[in-house]
């Protein structure tokens, strides 16, 4: 959250000492060659078994997953062709919406790479729903009271300025079944908003990775497409992706809905100045729409999502980005991350893990 505050105050968010340079010209030259080597990572594998073997060969036996969900207003119309002209966040007892489908399949294919099964989950792009019902009023009042100090400093909505945790105590979800349960509970209380920026969720993931002592993390963002064409929003997102490449994290963007996907493909392969190519775009709608069995489409999704992870992880080791303890054994260690968020999503916040506004602000500075 420190970076959200920094951005609101007009400061550029930072995590590590960006002025730190290699001690000698030889070290600078070596690092430059390494960065060039990983500037654009190709899709090298044709089966999930090859990817799994490559992950083990690189020394990555497990990693830490972080999940970000897009609640921007464009979700209301980007299901026109792919989701029966319904909002992509439409909740029904008869079918899973694209976000629920993606979360469920990610849980099947990626959960095995998250050893402790603790998944920090965040939403972004929303604003708090207004309602005349008493339950909504109670939910609103509970959030306002529990985060009073925070709301004096920051807006009550995330929009393009922050993220919110799926859990009111800011703790990770325990497995993907809990992710799905929390998602279903919070959607009715949200109003889709905007504009769209991935910068807050990327910065949050970097903070978690740094707070873990530099352990390797994979941020999975599920979103419906384009970043807003605001003069500041696309540069903010690009800057955050560049910044994240100096940290031990990879970003997998899972695209749901109709698209278009031009920006996502650009982020995947054509952002300059990164320490390594840390972004992978996966067209979920296209993969799941293929004429194939469920097992085949799920395997294809797993392959697409994990395709670049082995080389990305290797890049963090060779570039000295991975935390010292983890780099020494070249394998991930799982931790329960404690994310810093702009607000929580649940109607009645719990206080067992320091979720008060005062503690949140103290932890974020």
19-28 pLDDT, tens per residue? 445 556 555 5
User: CA 116 → CA 166, 174, 225, 354, distances in Å?
Assistant: 18, 9, 31, 22
Domain positions in the chain: 36-359
CA distance 221 to 69: 6
pLDDT value, residue 224 = 92
Instruction: Considering only residues 307 and 181, tell me which one the structure prediction assigns the higher pLDDT.
Output: 181
Rounded to an integer, the average pLDDT of 66-77 is 94
pLDDT value, residue 262 = 81
Among 251, 106, 253, smallest CA distance to 176 is for: 106
In sequence order, the 6+-apart residues with CB closer than 8 A to the CB of 134 are none
Structure tokens at 50: 């090859």
**CATH code for the domain defined by 36-359:** 3.40.50.410
Q: Could you give the dihedral angle defined by the CA atoms of residues 282, 288, 291 and 292, in that order, rounded to the nearest 10 degrees?
A: 90
SS3 (DSSP) at 310:
helix
Share of the chain above pLDDT 90, in %: 37
Residue range 283-294, pLDDT digits in tens: 999 999 999 898
- With 70 as the cut, is the pLDDT of residue 205 above it? yes
pLDDT value, residue 45 = 76
pLDDT value, residue 44 = 66
In sequence order, the 6+-apart residues with CB closer than 8 A to the CB of 72 are 124, 125, 126, 192, 193, 194, 195, 196, 223, 224
CA 287 to chain centre: 20
Radius of gyration of the chain (CA): 20
User: CA 263 → CA 99, 187, 300, 317, distances in Å?
Assistant: 20, 26, 22, 28
- With 90 as the cut, is the pLDDT of residue 244 above it? yes
CA distance 217 to 250: 7
């Amino acid at each position: 959250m420190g970076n959200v505050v920094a951005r609101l105050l007009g400061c550029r968010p930072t995590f590590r000492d960006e002025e730190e340079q290699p001690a000698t010209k030889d070290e600078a030259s070596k690092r430059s060659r390494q960065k060039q080597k990983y500037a654009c990572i190709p899709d090298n594998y044709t089966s999930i078994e090859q990817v799994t073997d490559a992950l083990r060969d690189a020394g990555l036996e497990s990693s830490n997953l972080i999940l970000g969900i897009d609640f921007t207003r464009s979700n209301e119309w980007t299901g026109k062709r792919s989701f029966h002209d319904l909002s992509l966040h439409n909740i029904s007892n008869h079918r899973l919406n694209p976000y629920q489908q993606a979360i469920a399949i990610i849980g099947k294919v990626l959960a095995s790479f998250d050893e402790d099964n603790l998944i920090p989950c965040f939403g972004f792009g929303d604003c708090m729903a207004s309602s005349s019902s008493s339950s909504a009023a109670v939910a609103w009042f509970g959030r306002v009271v529990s985060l009073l100090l925070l709301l004096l400093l920051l807006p009550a909505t995330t929009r393009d300025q922050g993220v919110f945790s799926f859990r009111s105590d800011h703790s990770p979800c325990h497995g993907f079944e809990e992710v799905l349960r929390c998602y279903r509970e919070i959607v009715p209380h949200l109003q889709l908003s905007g504009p769209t920026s991935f910068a807050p969720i990327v910065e949050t993931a970097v903070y978690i990775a740094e707070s873990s002592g530099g352990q390797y993390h994979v941020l999975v963002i599920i979103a419906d497409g384009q970043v807003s064409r605001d003069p500041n929003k696309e540069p903010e997102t690009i800057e955050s992706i560049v910044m994240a490449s100096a940290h031990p994290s990879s970003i997998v963007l899972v695209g749901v809905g109709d698209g278009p996907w031009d920006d996502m493909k650009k982020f995947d392969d054509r952002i300059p100045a990164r320490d390594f190519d840390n972004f992978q775009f996966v067209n979920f709608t296209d993969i799941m729409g293929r004429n194939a069995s469920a097992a085949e489409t799920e395997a294809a999704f797993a392959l697409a999502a994990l395709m670049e992870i082995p080389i990305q992880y290797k890049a963090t080791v060779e570039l000295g980005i991975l935390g010292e303890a983890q780099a020494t054994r070249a394998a991930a260690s799982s931790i329960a991350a404690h994310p810093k968020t702009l607000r929580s999503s649940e109607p009645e916040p719990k206080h067992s893990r320091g979720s008060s506004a005062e503690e949140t602000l103290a932890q974020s500075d």
